[in-house]
Amino acid sequence: MRKHENIPAADYASPLSRGLADFLKRLSLTLGATEEAARTAGDAARACAQALAEGDVCANFSLLAAAEGKPAQDVRKLLDASLVASSAGADKKLPLVYDDEGQIYLYRYFAYERKLADAIIRRLPGPAARTVSAESRQFLEKRFAENARELSGRPDWQKIAVEMAFTNRLTIISGGPGTGKTTIVTALIAALAINDHPPRIALVAPTGKAAARMEESMRSQMSTLDAELRKRMPERASTIHMLLGASPAGNTFRFNENNPLPYDLIVVDEASMIDLSLASRLFSALHPDTGIVLLGDKDQLAAVEAGAVFAELAQQTSVPDNMDKLSTGSGTPPLNAQPNEKGPLSSCVVWLKENYRFSAASPIAKVAGLVVNGEGEQLIEWLQNEKGDNIKWEAFDEGLPSRVVGALVKGFEPFVEAVNQGDPEKVLAAYEKFCVLCVIRNGRRGVNGINDVIARQLRLKISGEGPGEGPWYDGRPIMITENDYGLGVFNGDIGVALKTKDGHRRVWFMDKDGGLRFVPPSSLPAHQTAFAMTVHKAQGSEFENVSLILPEQDTPVLTRELIYTAVTRAKKTLLIYGSADILKLAVGRPTSRRSGLAKKISTPP
């Protein structure tokens, strides 16, 4: 349940939503509306602003009517009379828009949603985006030969996904870590590049960190390919903002519907992190003939800002409605199954079901599956009975016991050893061996509290310095929280402070080529200490070992998707600290973001 669903609007209003409400009320009165109509418009604006703050694209009209104490029909009449609101069908550019599906929007977000839906509809299956040449087909048969042997007649979803991306102008591929999303992208791009006239391809991700991870994964996969073929493939990935040519302020873009992007194919990694606004801008900037592939995990956390675009699109079906055609074309045995829900995206969506990193018996895979299915009781029972070293759970209700702090500090021992050796490359590599993830930012179990307690102990171990010696010390890991295009550091980038040979302290980063570079601490944009980070900030990253710290009390951000995202950051071991009640609450609370995108796609104007 959302925290505001049964609370009158005035009780949950933030300063921002109150300010917007007051502005629209005054505007309505200035335009000549009655006091009652203007007040209703203000209440609607407040509800919309609060909905956006919670990740929803729009507000629930029925709840607004209930808060007003009037039938929905009367509220609609008052909104129309306010002169600052209209129905979606009226096609007016007024600040507030309500539709027939029980939603009310701020106009900007209604326009984002309508624009994105229209762009998606235009990309739905029609004429094939491209055909699969004999050379491409031969390459794919060879590339996926090992899969065919291992799958023993089961559908090869990786190969089917590549086939879809060849023939569709929109392909949506959802799968968890280890299901082969990078394998698909590499095979697709290589199969295209092998032809005489390879297409222009762009690789992008929502954040700089995710783009760097995409490049790293691609390089690893491409290392098995012929050197001449590798030269014909893109090596760089960028952020979506960089692809679109964002201004320094990020509010204007070089590429848009009037100046489309000059690419034949765009591949987007970590697409679950894309909010409605950015998705709308990206799709609007596509040339009609450009293909786009969205890669992500529908079960992960949605974007920080409003909307859950990838999850909403990827929910359409798990079996393409043209499965027989695709399986025949890709050499996969026919699959006798029907789409779960035949819809406009049925031929665009594929779920990757085989995990090539974790076996079905893997503890991490087991926990992830229980979380996704919302099986909180079974999860607790399994954790209580699990005796292996890969996953451990320590239950406690209050405070942060010293033994837990000791375990967290111990997890950083390889990092401390690398810092003492003074090699920046080894330090950055050691950082990825262990991570502490938190649900909340403040409090003793939040990011700030955990960072403080770990920093105090590790700082003494490394340099013998106390916290009074200033904010910078050797081994301080930091996360960039604000893009700086001039310095080439972006939100989510990790750096570590170390002294150079001349005695000057610098913050070292790994660049996209796998090399090192440094930035003086005084030149850095906004940043924070990163012994611990929120689960949201960990999206797009993986660590060998992860410790998850649950909060002492329930909080609205504690959801099934958050726990799943935390679990799937771990490649080897996972330690969970916190109470059974809190863990069960989270697993039993799926994220539900209010939106009209799917409806707009299924019922175009």
pLDDT single digits (tens) 93-138:
999 999 988 899 999 999 999 999 999 998 886 655 567 778 888 8
Give me the pLDDT at residue 477, please. Answer: 94
Instruction: Assess contact for 103 and 61: CB atoms under 8 A.
Output: yes
Rounded to the nearest 10°, the torsion over CA 425, 431, 432, 434 is 160
Instruction: Assess contact for 347 and 322: CB atoms under 8 A.
Output: yes
Q: Which of 217, 304, 209, 180 is closest to 541 using CA atoms?
A: 209
Instruction: Assess contact for 444 and 518: CB atoms under 8 A.
Output: no
Chain mean position to CA 204? 13
To which H or E segment does residue 519 belong?
Answer: strand 516-519
Give me the pLDDT at residue 12, please. Answer: 44
The set of long-range contacts for 70-79, using a CB threshold of 8 Å and a minimum separation of 24, is 75/40, 78/36, 78/37, 78/40, 78/41, 79/37, 79/40, 79/41, 79/44
Give me the pLDDT at residue 22, please. Answer: 92
Which residues of the chain are under the pLDDT cut of 50? Answer: 1-12, 318, 320-322, 326-328, 330, 332-340
* Torsional sign, CA 542, 424, 537, 400: positive
Give me the pLDDT at residue 151, please. Answer: 65
The two tokens of residue 320 are 């393409």
Instruction: Assess contact for 297 and 569: CB atoms under 8 A.
Output: no
d(C-alpha 334, C-alpha 339), whole Å: 14
Instruction: Assess contact for 97 and 88: CB atoms under 8 A.
Output: yes
d(C-alpha 436, C-alpha 532), whole Å: 5
Q: Which of 36, 1, 354, 340 is closest to 177 using CA atoms?
A: 354
Map residue 198 onto helix, strand or coil.
coil
Per residue in 216-237, pLDDT (tens digit) is 888 888 888 888 888 888 888 8
Map residue 89 onto helix, strand or coil.
helix
Instruction: Assess contact for 583 and 552: CB atoms under 8 A.
Output: no
The two tokens of residue 363 are 């503890």
Map tokens 């009320």 to a residue.
Answer: 25
Give me the pLDDT at residue 328, please. Answer: 46
Alpha-carbon separation of residue 181 from 151, 217, 325 (angstroms): 17, 10, 22
d(C-alpha 432, C-alpha 137), whole Å: 38
Cα-atom radius of gyration of the chain, to the nearest Å? 25
Give me the pLDDT at residue 359, please. Answer: 66
- Sequence letter at residue 402: S
To which H or E segment does residue 296 belong?
Answer: strand 291-296
d(C-alpha 191, C-alpha 198), whole Å: 9
CB hemisphere CA count around 63 (13 angstroms): 21
d(C-alpha 542, C-alpha 100), whole Å: 43
Chain mean position to CA 180? 17
The two tokens of residue 228 are 């001449």
The two tokens of residue 409 are 């500090």
Chain mean position to CA 363? 24
Give me the pLDDT at residue 542, please. Answer: 85
d(C-alpha 422, C-alpha 427), whole Å: 8
Alpha-carbon separation of residue 105 from 181, 190, 251, 449, 577 (angstroms): 35, 43, 21, 38, 40
The two tokens of residue 480 are 């960039």
d(C-alpha 212, C-alpha 507), whole Å: 18
d(C-alpha 319, C-alpha 353), whole Å: 11
d(C-alpha 17, C-alpha 39), whole Å: 14
* Torsional sign, CA 150, 156, 157, 159: positive
Instruction: Assess contact for 58 and 596: CB atoms under 8 A.
Output: yes
Alpha-carbon separation of residue 149 from 141, 142, 231, 280, 349 (angstroms): 12, 12, 30, 41, 25
d(C-alpha 412, C-alpha 401), whole Å: 18
Per residue in 298-343, pLDDT (tens digit) is 998 887 788 789 998 988 654 544 455 544 454 544 444 444 456 7
d(C-alpha 375, C-alpha 385), whole Å: 16
Instruction: Assess contact for 502 and 415: CB atoms under 8 A.
Output: no
User: How many percent of the chain have pLDDT more than 70?
Assistant: 88
